[in-house]
Amino acid sequence: MFESCLKCAICYENCYLEQMGVTSFIRLPLQEDATNIWTCSNCWTCQDICPVGIPLMELKWQLQRKVEAPPSYGASLENILICGYCLPIDSDELNPFRLDDGLEPVTLASSNIIATLLQTK
């Protein structure tokens, strides 16, 4: 997966989490250790700075999809399958407040559409 990696460690040195003492996913290309695969906040610094252009973020997501996700991600997916949003948005509950605030109402997509989009393969 990291065949073209020069092991130059510039990604590691520029990871703000590692600079703060938080062990992050960026240990992966250097040590092939996926223990902290979910410790990343998607700031893209590592990928932008990689001198050989390794798509670190895409590789991270591919690996994440092979292991069990932290529970919050499961909850997000469940919400999406119900209402289209990763948070439990109930338009009947929300819209009176939106109208009061001067915002247009939200209309949710049907769960069939979401299921078709997410479960196609």
Partner 1 sequence: MTKEKVLFAGCLVTYRFPEYELSSKVVLEALSIETHTLPELVCCGQVLQGVNPNWIYMTAYNLALMEQRDMDIITLCGGCTNTFKRVQSMCSQNPQVLDDINQVLNRVGLQFNNTVKTQHLLEVLNENTDKIMACLKKVIPLKTAIMNPCQVFRPAAVMNFDDSKHPQVMGKLLGPAVTDIIPYSFQDNCCGASLSMSNLAAAYQVGRARLEELEHKDVDLIVTACGNCHLLLHGMQSEYYSGRRIPCMFLPQLLGIAIGLSPQDVMINDPHLRSLVTSV
Task: Name the residues that contact partner 1, by CB under 8 A.
Answer: 16-17, 20, 22, 38-45, 47-48, 57, 60-61, 64-65, 69-70, 72-74, 76-77, 80, 84-89, 94, 97-98, 101-110, 113-114, 116-121
Centroid of chain to Cα 95:
28
Side-chain-side CA neighbours of residue 8 (13 Å): 13
In the bound complex, what is the minimum distance in angstroms from residue 4's beta carbon to partner 1? Answer: 17
In the bound complex, what is the minimum distance in angstroms from residue 9's beta carbon to partner 1? Answer: 18
- Which residue type is seen at 106? V
* CA 59 – CA 50 distance, rounded (Å): 13
* CA 102 – CA 61 distance, rounded (Å): 39
CB neighbour list of residue 6: distance below 8 Å, 6 or more residues apart: 51, 52
